[in-house]
Amino acid sequence: MASIKIKDDIYFVGSMDWDRKLFDELIPLPEGTSYNSYLIKGSEKIALIDSVDPAKKEELFNNLAKINVTKIDYLIANHAEQDHSGSLPYLLEKFPMAKVVTNTKCKDFLKDLLLISDDKFQVVNECETISLGNKTLEFYMTPWVHWPETMVTYLKEDKILFSCDFFGAHLASSDIFVSNECEIYSSAKRYFAEIMMPFRVQIRKNVEKVEKLNIEMIAPSHGQIHKNPKFIIECYKDWISDNVKKEVVIPFVSMHESTQKMVDYLIDGLMEKGFTVKPFNLPKTDIGELAMSLVDTSTVVIGSPMVLAGPHPAAVYATYLFNLLRPKTKFVGIIGSFGWGGKMIDSLKEMLTNVKVELFEPVFIKGHPKKEDFALLDKLIEEIDKKHKENNIV
């Protein structure tokens, strides 16, 4: 990697992880990711904003050497998760005079997660500033993007917001700055869906807070830097709003084509009513794509056959994920088929503890769908359409 100047005396010194395929052993990374770390050389003091995943620490040290960094005064930790903080113990070994600057909650996390000793910290509070001489860092608490301790750092003179995960995207690219807004829209929405969607109500306050700052650039710690901050702020405002689209997401699994035939019928009927329909064949699905589709869909219909008297495990996984991500979905349906009965519908319904949704009458049929079963699906399609009209979802 390289040290890249983003403004006078401000450098990107992070690392691209081109080959990483999975985050948290859960989230697929089709475009890799980056760990963005930024060095700010003030006239008197030097600060490093966030670090990199420990697997990439040598790259960070090489990047610092390239711009002749021999001392660091402040190691700013906007977030305690190890992809940004994991290199702090190594940085403290190399720069023993440096102070880790963070809030009280983050300090507690870092002591627990990385065993950093108490004397290494300098705690900052809301709106507190640290002078680097000709440059000033100002700190704002932005909890729940996506941990309780998250904060952002604002570089006043240069009007840059260092936002860590907030406004970030899992994307490895040789373009440090956003070059294609469609591409970053998709990566950032996916990232929002995967880790921030459950906290959208709390995130509203954070967006309102940072919007009041005079920002010319948003430099997150994953993905590209925004020279047009309004773009990503407006995206977030849409995602955290209560607005939903006339859209039906269908996560489903089928073993012997009965559920598949029901799903196909449902798709056709909904398309004829003008709905956008997004089916996800679960055993073949990238769950990040599924999560992204949940950001603004009005309706989810889960499709599953019975396996050993319960729902198919793939449908259980998708339903668990849906409940965990707490999207703003308003309506949920369950469809599927069985051979000899069981408790599939109740088992799936009981999993929906975190979401406030209206449930449609399930369509649960025996064996291959027959004429009367398709009639039940027609009824479901009519019901979905009616609910959207009643709620003015267009």
Question: Which residues would be at the binding site for ligand FEO (CB under 6 A)?
Answer: 79, 81, 83-84, 146, 165, 222
Give the number of other Cβ atoms within 10 Å of residue 47's Cβ.
Answer: 24
Which CB, 164 or 266, lies closer to ligand FEO?
A: 164
Name the minimum Å distance from CB 170 to ligand FEO.
9
CB of 196 to ligand FEO, least distance (A): 10
Any alpha helices (H) in the chain, and if so which ranges?
57-66, 82-85, 88-94, 104-114, 181-191, 200-211, 229-240, 258-272, 287-293, 313-325, 344-350, 371-390
Give, as one character, the DSSP assignment of residue 66.
Answer: H
Q: For tokens 């793939």, what's the residue?
A: 314
60 vs 384, which CB is nearer to ligand FEO? 60
Using CA atoms, how far apart are residues 343 and 309, in angstroms rounded to an integer? 6
CB of residue 250 vs ligand FEO: minimum separation in angstroms?
30
Buried/exposed 140-162: b ≥16 CB within 10 Å, e otherwise: bbbbbbbbebbbbbbbeebebbb
Residue 14 C-beta: closest distance to ligand FEO, Å? 12
Cα dihedral 349/354/355/359 (nearest 10)? 20
Task: Judge whether 127 and 139 are in contact, CB under 8 Å.
Answer: yes
As measured in angstroms, the least distance from the Cβ of 83 to ligand FEO is 4
Shortest distance in whole angstroms from residue 335 CB to ligand FEO: 36
40 Cα distance to chain centroid: 27
Residue number with CB closer to ligand FEO (52 or 92):
52
Of 81 and 247, nearer to ligand FEO (C-beta) is 81
Quote the least distance from Cβ 51 to ligand FEO, whole Å: 11
* Nearest to ligand FEO of 23, 360 (CB atom): 23
- What separation, in Å, do the N-terminal and C-terminal C-alpha atoms of the chain show? 47
Question: Residue number with the shortest CB distance to ligand FEO?
Answer: 81
Residue matched to tokens 């198919």? 312
If the CB atoms of residues 169 and 345 are measured against ligand FEO, the closer one turns out to be 169
Angle at 277 between CA 179 and CA 243, to 5 degrees: 65
* Residue among 170 and 388 whose Cβ is closer to ligand FEO: 170
Residues in the chain: 394
**Which is nearest to 197 in space by CA: 350, 322, 12, 383?**
322
Minimum gap (Å) between residue 86 Cβ and ligand FEO: 10
Taking the least distance from each CB to ligand FEO, the nearer of 84 and 226 is 84
Q: Can you read off the two tokens belonging to residue 368?
A: 């291959």
The amino acid that residue 9 corresponds to is: D
Cα–Cα distance between 363 and 379 in angstroms, integer?
A: 10
Tokens of 188: 């950032």
The dihedrals phi and psi of 130, each to the nearest 5 degrees, come to -130, 130
Q: Which is nearer to ligand FEO, 17 or 73 (CB)?
A: 17
Question: In this structure, how many other beta carbons lie within 10 angstroms of the beta carbon of residue 32?
Answer: 15
Cβ 60 vs Cβ 72: under 8 Å: no
Residue carrying structure tokens 């020279």: 227
Q: How far is the CB of 113 from ligand FEO (least distance, A)?
A: 12
Task: Provide CB contacts within 8 A for 328, sequence distance 6+.
Answer: 200, 242, 244, 296
Q: Which is nearer to ligand FEO, 165 or 247 (CB)?
A: 165
For the bound state, the minimum distance from the C-beta of residue 81 to ligand FEO, rounded and expressed in Å, comes to: 4
